[in-house]
Chains A and B, each alone.
Chain A
Amino acid sequence: MGDLGYIAPEIILLIGALFIFCLDVAYDPGVGRKSGLSYMALSALFLTAALVAAVLQLNISDPEAGPKVAFSMMTIDNFGSFIKVTIFSGMILTTIAGGRYMNRRSGNQGEFWTFFLMVSLAMSIAVSANNLVLVYLAIEFLSITSYMLAGFLRENRRSNEAGLKYFLYGSIASAVMLYGISLLYGATGSLYLHEIAAAFTEIIGDSREISGLAFAGLPAMLLILAGLGFKASLAPFYQWAPDTYDGSPTPVATYLSTASKAAAFAVLARFFIVAMASFEVNWVPVLAAFSIITMSMGNLAALRQSSVKRMIAYSSVAQAGYILMGLVAVTSSSPSAMDGLNGVLLYLFAYLFTNVGAFLVVMALEETVDSTHISAYRGLIKRAPWLAVMFTIFLLSLTGIPLTGGFFGKFYVFGAAIQRQYFWLAAIGMINAGIAAFYYLRVVREMFFTHEGEGEALDVPMALQTSLLICTVATVWIGVYPSAVLDWVSTASVQLLSVVP
């Protein structure tokens, strides 16, 4: 098998996407509920197969085994595999829950699920790529398929707006990133991350002074950060996010704010830690500034939203700020238990289940009462008690209350910041946690604190309930007993940090 075996998850996804595409072309039974759901089931199946392949690649038992290189352009390491597991889990949960939602709203089911698998494939390639051209191609692939998915509801103007906005911002971000890549190539003569790192180490040397061609490294770093920051919805590149999340079909918004974000952070981490190691003193303050702006802007904007979907959209911008805090505090020199990279990975993992869950609740309300407005949640405890309880768990997890995964995520990124003695960064994070609690609690307040709200019990689809239950169990499990996840996280981050010279 050799190299082909290393990229098994990607191959499975590619086959899956083409299979569904061909099936869709070959059999066109007209618009039918049944066909839509079977495409959904097929794509869930292929995603699960890819998940299994990624789990098998995760070398927990044998930490000595080093990273493998496939076709010289992809590094298959525990870091990438862990992120893949995270991404695929999110995509599977979204797929299962989103089947009926998409089926009701659009006729082209085969097309939708084909793109859905393509998106997963793109993310999967992006997180393993060790060559900047492949990074660029994967990100472009991800963007283009995402534009189509965001604007998939062609008759819906909001969906069109979402797709168009994402496309316009996205193409500029990609162009900017490409320019950054070309600068790096000019300065170092290579597109491979480790060769770039080696070239910079040679130029800069031990003196730690930036001179000559190394000057190109700084603008290149900022330009690439802008391109990836767009994907991760970092401020000030986040303006597309609320409109796109709000307007796109909810399954699309779900993965855009979770899996896609995880992929962007993985690429960002790999790029900065591997290629830009020599510039650590320079990128730390830059990322710290981005982190502060991102969480503050996201939280302040979320405060004023009256649509729950939009509120979660802004809140996921703010969450990106916390995750970035972990990246700021990466200690490449001496990895410790509470390293920033561990924080990033744990946060991404916990956040994935929490935020997917939150979006699924929004989807459930859209499905049943066709509204995302906060007033639709009034007295939800009476109409759908379990839905209200699960949403509360997700919101508490996003707030960072213990016994939920979100707590340990925050615990780790704050811990990493304290360890590096970035007290001011941690303090700003602390103030933000207080602000965020306010708008998360507003929804809880609507759901529980009213004595009215006797109404018909909501009829939430079975598949959606299953996905929600998995998200809830995962969120609470990480919060109560994080030990197992921490093991995966540390094997993943140790391998990435070990390549740093």
Chain B
Amino acid sequence: MESLDSIVLTILLFWPLVSALLVILLGKSDSQIKKGSIWASLLPLGLSIYLLFAYDSAAGGMQFEQFAEWIPQLNAGYHIGVDGLSIPLLFLTALLSTLSLYYSAGVINERVKEYFFLMHLLEFSMLGVFLALDYVLFYVFWEISLVPMYFLIGIWGGENRGYAATKFFIYTLVGSVAMLLAILGVYFATGTFDIVEAAAAKPFAGNLTLASLAFWGFFLGFAFKVPSFPFHTWLPDAHTEAPTAGSVILAGVLLKLGAYGMLRIMLPSFPEASVYWATWLVGLGAIAIVYGAFVCVAQTDLKRLIAYSSVSHMGYVMLGIGAAAAVMTPEGLASAVNRFGLTPQAIQDSAAMALNGAALQMFNHGIITGALFFLVGIIYERAHTRDLSRFGGLATKTPHFYGLMLTAAFASLGLPGLAGFWAELFTFRGAFAIMPYWAAFGTIGIVITAVYILYRIIQNVFLGEYDPAKLTHWTTVQGEHADGPTDMVGFEKVTMWPLIAAMFLIGIYPTPLVSYFNKSARELLAFVQNLI
């Protein structure tokens, strides 16, 4: 296994690119492309599972690192590696990619070759962001992830797809360019593009103005992607118009890139600025939680509702990250200690807990919202509308669909025993010790979440009497006429069950997953404390 370990990440990263090229060069018939793509995507999935087991948790830190020269003139190289934070996210990416390809094989029948090419390219770029340990490499993958998603929304999207795709692209691009300027700033301050080395070289230490400029440059880049309130306005459009698999990847993985960037780059590189601006991060997070939830209640389009719920749920991630950001320096720690009279150890534990909650929420949100978007897609393929007022009483007609939707929806509102609960618990418990008022404000969102999940989704769509007059035109998933709603078919069940199983698994026994994140969270806190 020694020899495999030395190149495993490169294979993981480039295999989707190879798959994409194979689709273009060798793809003949649609069915061959679909089958080939699904099989090909099993390799990255397998490798990411291998990494889960092969990663040495006891040793921690970056492992499986690889380095090759790329642009020696700039001291920028091909540097990739994984730690406890990125491994679960790689697994999430590979899992959702495979499921999306599998589901798409059942519903995409137009311009198949382009579609599967773009899906592979998208997986390549997302894996690249999670693997890159060099700023230039990171930025390259970060930006090229825009391109396939732009085409996926624009070609296979709904009515308003051109508008939504352009909005998505331009919003994220503006944020990215701000990040590029910050990256260049860090480069000139430290002389390296290596993410780990640059953080250790303490860019702009002692110069809060420049550090804040760089901090906000990165923040803009990441906040557009997360998306943090008030940069979220592209998201409902993009999600609503995107094809089902596009929404799944967008919500499941692309939004995580932003939060991952905050954890990987912002907190370790700019501890002083992080402390200074932590209240802003927490505030934006808490506002997003509450605001997103209220907006959800007002939605009439099921997919748009789920999209806004992402704004709300990514707010938890921001809340957790912001709370931890507040204690990144000894001064920040001291001021938190003075405020509440807790011991430094207790505050540190809370910060680690907030970070764990944020990371866990990233993973869970990927699983849960991914599942919800699949489910919306499944009903849309039959009803050809997402208008909530046209649904009702589907529980008796489509019991399997109802059961899965119920599970995913409850996981989303944080029912104990399902995945979402732990993330909310950790985030709020951690944040409460550091920023109690904002955390308390954020809890309002939990209540409102229950309102829109129970009332708007469960009651509106599934409960009550089924009224055939509400929606007369139903089809089967293959597009043939049907007399009423039909239940899920085989390939849809196969797509859904792994996600549902993951929700139960993490809900009942989160320890293995948390242990990855906890390792990284502790390392981050220790790294920053030693730095100062």
Q: Which residues of A contact B (CB under 8 A)?
A: 337-338, 381, 396, 399-403, 407, 411, 414-415, 418-419, 423, 426-427, 430-431, 433-434, 437-438, 441-442, 445, 448-449, 451, 481-483, 486-487, 490
Check if B188 sits within 8 Å of A411, measured CB to CB: no
Q: Is there a chain A Cβ closer than 8 Å to B444's Cβ? A: no
Check if A423 sits within 8 Å of B213, measured CB to CB: yes
Instruction: For the complex, give the distance between the alpha carbons of A483 and B136 in Å.
Output: 13
Check if A433 sits within 8 Å of B177, measured CB to CB: yes
- The interface residues of chain B lying within 8 Å CB-to-CB of A337 are 73-75
User: Knowing A401-B144, A403-B140, A430-B181 touch, does A483 contact B72 (C-beta < 8 A)?
Assistant: yes
* A431 partner, pick from B139, B147, B166, B174, beta carbons under 8 A: B174
- The interface residues of chain A lying within 8 Å CB-to-CB of B74 are 337-338, 486
The segment from B154-162, B244-252, B341-349, B501-509 that touches chain A is B154-162
Nearest-Cβ distance from residue A191 to partner chain B, whole angstroms: 36
* B73 partner, pick from A402, A419, A483, beta carbons under 8 A: A483
Instruction: For the complex, give the distance between the alpha carbons of A407 and B71 in Å.
Output: 14
Instruction: For the complex, give the distance between the alpha carbons of A487 and B75 in Å.
Output: 13
Check if A402 sits within 8 Å of B144, measured CB to CB: yes
- The interface residues of chain B lying within 8 Å CB-to-CB of A445 are 154, 162, 165-166
Instruction: For the complex, give the distance between the alpha carbons of A445 and B169 in Å.
Output: 12
Check if A486 sits within 8 Å of B169, measured CB to CB: no
* B173 partner, pick from A434, A481, A483, beta carbons under 8 A: A434
Q: Is there a chain A Cβ closer than 8 Å to B436's Cβ? A: no
Q: Beyond the given A402-B140, A430-B180, A449-B154, could you list 9 further A-B residue pairs with CB under 8 A, ordered by the A residue number? A: A381-B114, A403-B144, A411-B180, A423-B181, A426-B181, A430-B177, A433-B177, A445-B165, A483-B73
- The interface residues of chain A lying within 8 Å CB-to-CB of B154 are 445, 448-449
B contact face: mostly helix, strand, loop, or mixed = helix
- The interface residues of chain B lying within 8 Å CB-to-CB of A426 are 181, 184
* B70 partner, pick from A401, A414, A483, beta carbons under 8 A: A483
Check if A486 sits within 8 Å of B71, measured CB to CB: yes
Instruction: For the complex, give the distance between the alpha carbons of A414 and B217 in Å.
Output: 14
Q: Is there a chain A Cβ closer than 8 Å to B143's Cβ? A: yes
- The interface residues of chain B lying within 8 Å CB-to-CB of A486 are 71, 73-74
- The interface residues of chain A lying within 8 Å CB-to-CB of B146 are 401
- The interface residues of chain A lying within 8 Å CB-to-CB of B188 are 338, 415, 418-419
Check if A487 sits within 8 Å of B73, measured CB to CB: yes
Q: Is there a chain A Cβ closer than 8 Å to B170's Cβ? A: yes
Q: Which residues of B contact A (CB under 8 A)?
A: 70-75, 110, 114, 136, 139-140, 143-144, 146-147, 150-151, 154-155, 161-162, 165-166, 169-170, 173-174, 177-178, 180-181, 184-185, 187-188, 213
Q: Which residue of A lies closest to B74 (CB)?
A: A337
Nearest-Cβ distance from residue A345 to partner chain B, whole angstroms: 13
Instruction: For the complex, give the distance between the alpha carbons of A172 and B26 in Å.
Output: 59
Nearest-Cβ distance from residue A341 to partner chain B, whole angstroms: 14
Instruction: For the complex, give the distance between the alpha carbons of A430 and B216 in Å.
Output: 14
- The interface residues of chain B lying within 8 Å CB-to-CB of A437 are 169-170, 173
- The interface residues of chain A lying within 8 Å CB-to-CB of B184 are 338, 411, 414-415, 418-419, 426
- The interface residues of chain A lying within 8 Å CB-to-CB of B150 are 441
- The interface residues of chain A lying within 8 Å CB-to-CB of B71 are 482-483, 486
Nearest-Cβ distance from residue B242 to partner chain A, whole angstroms: 13
Check if A448 sits within 8 Å of B143, measured CB to CB: no
Check if B170 sits within 8 Å of A401, measured CB to CB: no
- The interface residues of chain A lying within 8 Å CB-to-CB of B213 are 423
Q: Which residue of A lies closest to B178 (CB)?
A: A430
